[in-house]
Chain A
Amino acid sequence: MTGNDIVDIKVAATESNWKRTGFLEKIFTQKEQEYIKHAATPDEMVWKLWSMKESAYKIYTRQYGGRFFAPKKLSCTLLSSTSGQVTINTISYQTITSSTNGYIYTTARQEKYGTDFLNYCCEIHGHFTNQQKHVYKKLVASYAANNGEDNRNFTIIKDKNNVPFMYCKKEQQKIPVSITHHGNFAAFTIN
């Protein structure tokens, strides 16, 4: 199982002012605040840690259900410039973060080593609802192509907790997917 989260760096800079009083303290543990303080580019570190938490949260809630807003409970440790670990209630997730000028993107998984998953990242433009539609279309197309199947066999559905699945009509099967979009960027993973 995987979880992912993407942050559009430019959009994040206009949407959030992480320097406002109390912001970092509400979200980040003491250790994470130290990472930010000593980072060469604090902006990047803020969103890197944030995307690590979000991607781990997505797997955790898929596994254990429920919804909550407790960013501090998801505690990050950086292992290298790209890899890290997020722990919540003694459960740990492994993360890989990639950065470009435009975005910061993290994928999380529970296993250290496991089967590869399909990971797709794309740049998109347009309105929020279109963006979502576009991401869904890309997700379906790429999965279908990978499996030599017809696009029409697949559709994205969400359960009552808003957790997405890809539904295969023919097999009547639900495949867990993780979808993320922010600003001009979107990404998804399929196990």
Chain B
Amino acid sequence: MSTTELIEKLKVIVKPYVKNEEGFKNMTEESDFLNDLKINSANLVDVILDIETEFDIIIDNESMEKMLNVKAAIEIITTKLGEK
């Protein structure tokens, strides 16, 4: 899956939790879930659970630690998909 495709899928996943519409409209690989999209930290768990379901992967604690931005999410998803 290409980065663009992954970003599109991520957009659908994060949308319900985003508090900054402007940040969401301009979401790129560089966007930070908390600072740019203003997703509250408790909802970051929902984002992670939704990613697990969507891609049928398990995000372990070590990977979850880095899940603060789009770039890290893409890297983790790509790695986990590669392991399948």
Residues in A lying within 8 Å of B, measured CB to CB: 12, 15-16, 20-23, 26-27, 50, 54, 67-73, 128, 162, 182
Task: Report how far A15 CA is from B35 CA in the complex, Å.
Answer: 18
Residues in B lying within 8 Å of A, measured CB to CB: 17, 19-20, 34-35, 38, 40-46, 48-49, 52, 61, 64-68
- CB contacts (< 8 Å) of B49 on chain A: these are 20-23, 26
Task: Report how far A22 CA is from B43 CA in the complex, Å.
Answer: 13
13 A-B pairs with C-beta separation under 8 A: A12-B42, A15-B42, A16-B42, A20-B49, A22-B49, A50-B42, A67-B68, A69-B41, A69-B44, A69-B67, A71-B45, A73-B61, A73-B65
Task: Report how far A128 CA is from B48 CA in the complex, Å.
Answer: 24
Task: Report how far A165 CA is from B49 CA in the complex, Å.
Answer: 34
Interface contact B48-A26, CB-CB below 8 Å: yes
- CB contacts (< 8 Å) of B67 on chain A: these are 69
| B72 to chain A: closest residue by CB | A69
- CB contacts (< 8 Å) of B48 on chain A: these are 26
Task: Report how far A182 CA is from B66 CA in the complex, Å.
Answer: 24
The smallest C-beta distance from B56 to any residue of chain A, in angstroms, reads 14
- CB contacts (< 8 Å) of A162 on chain B: these are 34-35
| A53 to chain B: closest residue by CB | B41
- CB contacts (< 8 Å) of B38 on chain A: these are 128
Interface contact A70-B65, CB-CB below 8 Å: yes
Task: Report how far A69 CA is from B43 CA in the complex, Å.
Answer: 12
The smallest C-beta distance from B24 to any residue of chain A, in angstroms, reads 13
Task: Report how far A171 CA is from B77 CA in the complex, Å.
Answer: 48
- CB contacts (< 8 Å) of A27 on chain B: these are 45
Interface contact A15-B40, CB-CB below 8 Å: yes
| B40 to chain A: closest residue by CB | A15
- CB contacts (< 8 Å) of A128 on chain B: these are 19-20, 38
Interface contact A16-B43, CB-CB below 8 Å: yes
The smallest C-beta distance from A76 to any residue of chain B, in angstroms, reads 15
Task: Report how far A68 CA is from B69 CA in the complex, Å.
Answer: 11
Interface contact B40-A69, CB-CB below 8 Å: no
- CB contacts (< 8 Å) of B35 on chain A: these are 162
Interface contact B61-A70, CB-CB below 8 Å: yes
Interface centre among A20, A23, A69 (most CB of B within 10 A): A69
The smallest C-beta distance from A57 to any residue of chain B, in angstroms, reads 9
| B64 to chain A: closest residue by CB | A69
Task: Report how far A72 CA is from B48 CA in the complex, Å.
Answer: 14
| A71 to chain B: closest residue by CB | B45
Task: Report how far A22 CA is from B57 CA in the complex, Å.
Answer: 13
